Chain A
């Protein structure tokens, strides 16, 4: 990796100061994407600001009808949280399927959504469950947060502080992993909420998206048989050595059915 300065602030204000004093800084959460990227020399920064020392960004708590997860909470902590397991088991299950044990013990929810890898699991979790992303500057609805590949609504220097998940009536996540990377080739979060059914798809396209055709069908009847095919255009889906767009589109339907079956079980 290229040389860089390293900072470990213990508060958001210290983090802010570190960001402001650096010419070309990068924020690091769990580092599970950033560190390999630095090692491959695909990323370069004057300074890396590591958020691991900021206690206010950690922890899982219940706030009204929502589970709020601090941005620096690891996948393992979400997967093993009794609170998450009892309120939104779909989210615990999603976290349990990310990467491998090493990744789950270092990687964080805030890092995952700020990075917005188009095949990551948490973007589907946030979008599917209709989460709200809290940052150092504002609150952003998941529908407005995720852009195309690696793009989000975050501005320079804006730090994700927590994610608030409203409690769904029922929800489940089904993932078809890439056999090599174990990222999602297709991952589908299906949630039945007070405001209707939400179906979020990761892995298949250039970024996480909602599948309106499946949402429409499930709003009619939240059952496996209601799910027909994905409504997305194959041309908007990824095609690579692991899976063609046609196969991915097919898998969206299969994973949606499996998620519904799991949610109803």
Chain B
């Protein structure tokens, strides 16, 4: 039997072009006669746009046109949609607000698009954009989450700036649990605002073909079909048949490139208006201002406990910041991707969550690596630590005591999900062993001798990945199904082209999907080409986010491969003059059972396109597609433990050790999975101690508008992570995979905060745990002793 590639740490084949600078990104693509767009953005957080005078800009060198929202409105360009309707506590849909491609009346955050200049060069467009005179009447800015519901109203459609007051779980049952509790642990916490910052900023290039009345849009999109659907189904009256969306190489997404944005919509419109291709590429300042931001919750959490530290009930009240407009999936993140995860890995019998989602004069907030699940895991793991502290228990023991046990699966949580499988104690035990938990006291003493405060912290997380079972999420309010498509197309020479509806923007799909297909079809890995990111080539697909590509997209590929093999058996049966039922397929060979008669996959593929004497019921060709809709979410879980050393003189925290033990089900490529863990952890460490999106509460100006102030994690902030796995294969997809892309970003914040709090001998410290915050606590601690 040939060596299977699944499970092998094969190096990413796409890296040859990425690392040599030979990738082809949107900004690398050049079209004849293209123009550049520059946006005029509001310098005010909240202001009425009284008038716009573009005379000077129109007269500037190289300017082809200056346009405003009114121009797009005249061509029936409507609001950018929100694709998920959340029903509030009273059974009413969320308060939807329009988000027109360029505001028509009022600027609602600093960076809101007010006008666009289209010119021969980028420099001319930017020069002219400064000449557009906008008369603003400034209004009070709504920034502070605690007072947003009493502040000046941002949208006519949303009184009190409230998008929804939503709940999940049985409040009466939770109240009853609290009434009989031995102890209630409480915490108020902030989940800090993040500015996602992929390496490649967003970009768009739009072209209109007058001859066919059709458009091509190159966009830095994680899901080109969804972008086309929104543009054609909601924003414009362009038929989907007349818009081709191409997402070529994309340099990182993390969620921020899922959405339909104003800028690309305006480029699309302008390309027809000026009859020339129109390009826009964000600079980093624009990215900070106008990319979708993330997290930004204020939460009060209470956990009811019995004498033994068992969780009896959990109550969560959250105010979630949605920003100035609804990004496409904004409504779903602090609800169905957040509160549904509040059971975590624990058998808490009663859970109630109430979420007030509010509009503010800040950039729209939507999904970012983890998307709701980091917020859930963070508060749950924080309150678990505090409960352990309150009851005088070891934080490991309280988790162990509350874990859902392996014999309880499938496990129905009180918050609408059913976990299929897991073994949380196995991950915990492995992590404890890897870090030598019992040896910590000695390490703490040794550090103390060096003047350092050493701390240890852990988190046991669960996430819902492989988004998503369409029937379940449609009950939750989703406007689209989240199945995935694949087409497996044999070429006449035996090579295979695989079309996937997912999109890779750093995940290494060309490698992992190649491994999968090579194994499934018994063809050489180098003969398998993975194609993604072009609506004109690929069947309708849903893109990449929510750790779904292998679990859902990979499963669709498996399904298409199965169809190809079935078709191949029919062709082989004809070639070998045997019955189809007698043909078996293994390692790339079709054989007649019990004989040495066989045909290779390549021979069958050639015959498929040179069909000699095919019977009437046997079609030529070897090309099958499949759509796979998952039966459930997948539930990766694990335990991370880290140790830190704090310099009490400066408050500087050094992460000195980190073990990550995750259960991702089957691992296709451990090298790529490890990279995903490292990347997720880097972003999670960033949230926990470095990153913070800060607006001035009075003026609404974004203070962290560049990397001079927005602190991205760097290599020297990170330890050498130690990775371990446990494995319970997902029960409901053919690969047994669960997804690994978001785990690090979910596990890292509670793990690191737990360790820092432990080192400082306090129960909690807010994120980001900057050196000054840590120093202040360390000083207070020293003063108290």
When C-beta atoms are compared, the residue in chain A nearest to B130 turns out to be: A41
Q: When the two chains form their complex, are residues A254 and B649 in contact, meaning their CB atoms are under 8 A apart? A: yes
Q: Which residues of B contact A241 (CB under 8 A)?
A: 692, 694, 703-704, 709
Q: In the complex, identify which listed stretch (A108-116, A176-184, A195-203) lies at the interface while the others stay far away.
A: A176-184
**CB < 8 Å: which of A181, A244, A247, A251 contacts B708?**
A181
B126 at the interface (CB under 8 A from A): yes
Q: How far is the CB of A60 from chain B (nearest CB, A)?
A: 28
Q: Does B614 contact A (CB under 8 A)?
A: no
Chain B residues with Cβ below 8 Å from A39 are: 283
Chain B residues, CB < 8 A from A3: 123, 127
Q: Is A242 an interface residue (CB 8 A)?
A: yes
Question: Are A179 and B771 interface neighbours, CB within 8 A?
Answer: yes
A251 touches B650 (CB 8 A): yes
Tell me if A244 and B772 are in contact (CB < 8 A). yes
B130 to chain A, nearest CB (A): 8
Given A40-B285, A41-B126, A243-B772, also A180-B650 (CB < 8 A): no
- Shortest Cβ gap from A226 to chain B (Å): 16
Pair A247/B775 contact, Cβ less than 8 Å: yes
Q: Does A1 contact B (CB under 8 A)?
A: yes
Check if B127 sits within 8 Å of A180, measured CB to CB.
no
Is there a chain B Cβ closer than 8 Å to A206's Cβ?
no
How near does chain B come to A258, taking the closest CB pair, in angstroms?
Answer: 9
- Assess whether A2 is interfacial by the CB under 8 Å rule: yes
A225 to B: closest C-beta gap in Å: 14
Of B707, B710, B772, most buried by chain A (CB within 10 Å of CB) is B772
A180 touches B772 (CB 8 A): no
Q: Does A250 contact B (CB under 8 A)?
A: yes
Please report which residues of chain A, range 1-15, place their CB below 8 angstroms from some CB of chain B when the two chains form the complex. 1-3
Q: Which B residues are in CB contact (< 8 Å) with A179?
A: 690, 711, 717, 770-771
Q: Do A180 and B708 have beta carbons less than 8 Å apart?
A: yes
Contacts of A40 in B (CB 8 A): 285
Q: Is the interface of B mostly helix, strand, loop or mixed?
A: loop
Within 8 A of A (CB), among B631-680: 649-650
Q: How far is the CA of A247 from the CA of B776 in the complex (A)?
A: 9
Docked CA distance A10–B353 (Å): 70
How many pairs of residues, A versus B, come closer than 8 Å at their CB atoms? 42
Complex Cα distance A39/B717, Å?
Answer: 29
* Most chain A C-beta atoms within 10 Å of own C-beta, residue among B650, B710, B712: B650
Kindly provide the distance from the CB of B783 to the nearest chain A CB, expressed in whole angstroms: 13
Q: Distance in Å from the Cβ of B483 to the closest Cβ of chain A?
A: 42
Name which of B649, B704, B776 has the most chain A CB atoms within 10 A of its CB.
B649
Size bracket of the A interface: 10 to 19
CB nearest neighbor in A for B126? A41
Which one of A180, A183, A242, A247 contacts B712 once the chains associate, using CB atoms below 8 Å? Answer: A180
Task: Report yes or no: A180 in contact with B709, Cβ–Cβ below 8 A.
Answer: yes
Residues of B contacting A251 with CB < 8 Å?
650
How near does chain A come to B438, taking the closest CB pair, in angstroms?
A: 33
- Please report which residues of chain A, range 155-212, place their CB below 8 angstroms from some CB of chain B when the two chains form the complex: 176, 179-181, 183
Q: In whole Å, how far is A13's beta carbon from the nearest beta carbon of chain B? A: 32
Min CB–CB distance B475 → chain A (angstroms): 43
CA distance A247 to B717 in the complex (A): 21
Within 8 A of A (CB), among B730-777: 770-772, 775-776
Q: Are A180 and B711 in contact (CB under 8 A)?
A: yes
Tell me, in angstroms, the Cα distance from A241 to B710 when the chains sit together. Answer: 10
In the complex, what residue of chain B is closest to A186 when comparing beta carbons?
B650
- Contact indicator per residue, chain A 104-146, by CB within 8 Å of chain B (1) or not (0): 0000000000000000000000000000000000000000000
**Given A176-B650, A243-B772, A254-B650, residue A181 in contact with residue B709 (CB < 8 A):** yes
A196 CB to nearest B CB, Å = 27
Shortest beta-carbon distance from B362 to chain A in Å = 16
**B127 contact from A2, A247, A250, Cβ within 8 A:** A2
- In the complex, are the beta carbons of A181 and B707 less than 8 A apart? yes
- List residues of chain A with CB within 8 A of the CB of B126: 41
Complex Cα spacing A40 to B704, Å: 15
Chain B residues closer than 8 Å to A2, beta-carbon distance: 127
Closest A residue by C-beta to B703? A241
Q: Which residues of A contact B770 (CB under 8 A)?
A: 179, 242
How distant is B117 from chain A, measured CB to nearest CB, in Å?
A: 14
Contact of A180 among B130, B710, B775, B776 (CB under 8 A): B710
Closest Cβ of chain B to A228, distance in Å, is 14
Nearest neighbor of B649 in chain A, beta-carbon distance: A254
Contact call B694/A250, Cβ cutoff below 8 A: no
Bound Cα distance from A250 to B651, whole angstroms: 11
- Point out the residues of chain B lying under 8 angstroms from A244, CB to CB: 772
B123 CB contacts on chain A under 8 angstroms: 1, 3
How far, in whole Å, are A243 and B692 apart by their CA atoms in the complex?
Answer: 14
B710: nearest residue on chain A (CB-CB)?
A180
**Shortest distance in angstroms between A223's beta carbon and chain B's nearest beta carbon?**
17
**Which B residues are CB-close (under 8 A) to A41?**
126, 130
Shortest beta-carbon distance, B711 to chain A, in Å?
A: 4
Q: For the complex, give the distance between the alpha carbons of A3 and B690 in Å.
A: 37
Using Cβ atoms and an 8 Å threshold, which residues of chain B touch A254? 649-650
Contacts of A242 in B (CB 8 A): 709, 770, 772
Instruction: Report which residue of B126, B283, B712, B775 has the largest number of chain A beta carbons within 10 angstroms of its beta carbon.
Output: B775
Q: What residues on B are CB-neighbors of A250 within 8 Å?
A: 775
Q: How far is the CA of A145 from the CA of B778 in the complex (A)?
A: 39
- Residues of the A chain whose Cβ atoms lie less than 8 Å from the Cβ of B649: 254
User: How far is it, in angstroms, between the C-alpha of A39 and the C-alpha of B284 when the chains are bound?
Assistant: 11
Instruction: Please name the residue on chain B nearest to A176 by beta carbon.
Output: B650
Hey, what's the 0/1 contact readout for A236-253 against B, CB within 8 Å counting as 1? 000001111001001100
**Are A247's CB and B772's CB within 8 A?**
yes
Closest residue to A243 on the B side, CB-wise?
B772
CB of A99, distance to nearest CB on chain B (Å):
12
B703 contacts across to A, CB distance below 8 A: 241
Residue of A nearest to B772 (CB): A247
| CA A2 to CA B131, docked complex, whole Å | 13
Bits for B200-239, please: 1 = Cβ < 8 Å to A, else 0.
0000000000000000000000000000000000000000
User: Could you tell me the distance between the alpha carbons of A250 and B717 in the complex, rounded to whole angstroms?
Assistant: 23
Residue of B nearest to A181 (CB): B708
Query: Cα distance A251–B650 when bound, in Å?
Result: 7
> CA A183 – CA B709 in complex, angstroms?
11
Bitwise interface map of B from 268 to 283 toward A, beta carbon under 8 Å scored 1, else 0: 0000000000000001
Contact with B along A1-38 (1 / 0, CB 8 A): 11100000000000000000000000000000000000
- Give complex CA distance A243, B651 in Å: 12
CB distance from B440 to the nearest CB of A (A): 27
* From A40, A241, A243, A250, residue with most partner B Cβ within 10 Å: A241
Residues from chain A with a CB closer than 8 A to the CB of B711 are: 179-180
Q: How far is the CB of B7 from chain A (nearest CB, A)?
A: 38
Pick the contact of B707: A1, A176, A180, A247 (CB < 8 A): A180
List which A56-108 residues lie within 8 A (CB) of chain B.
none
Q: List 8 A-B contacts (CB under 8 A).
A: A3-B123, A3-B127, A40-B285, A181-B708, A181-B709, A241-B709, A244-B772, A254-B650
Which B residues are within 8 Å of any A CB, using their own CB?
123, 126-127, 130, 283, 285, 649-650, 690, 692, 694, 703-704, 707-712, 717, 770-772, 775-776
Listed from nearest, the 8 A-B pairs whose CB atoms lie closest are A180-B711, A181-B708, A247-B772, A179-B711, A254-B649, A180-B709, A241-B694, A243-B772
New A-B pairs, 18, CB < 8 Å, besides A179-B770, A180-B708: A3-B123, A3-B127, A39-B283, A40-B285, A41-B126, A176-B650, A179-B717, A180-B707, A180-B709, A180-B711, A241-B692, A241-B703, A242-B772, A244-B772, A247-B772, A250-B775, A251-B650, A254-B650
By a beta-carbon cutoff of 8 Å, the part of chain A in contact with chain B is: 1-3, 39-41, 176, 179-181, 183, 241-244, 247, 250-251, 254
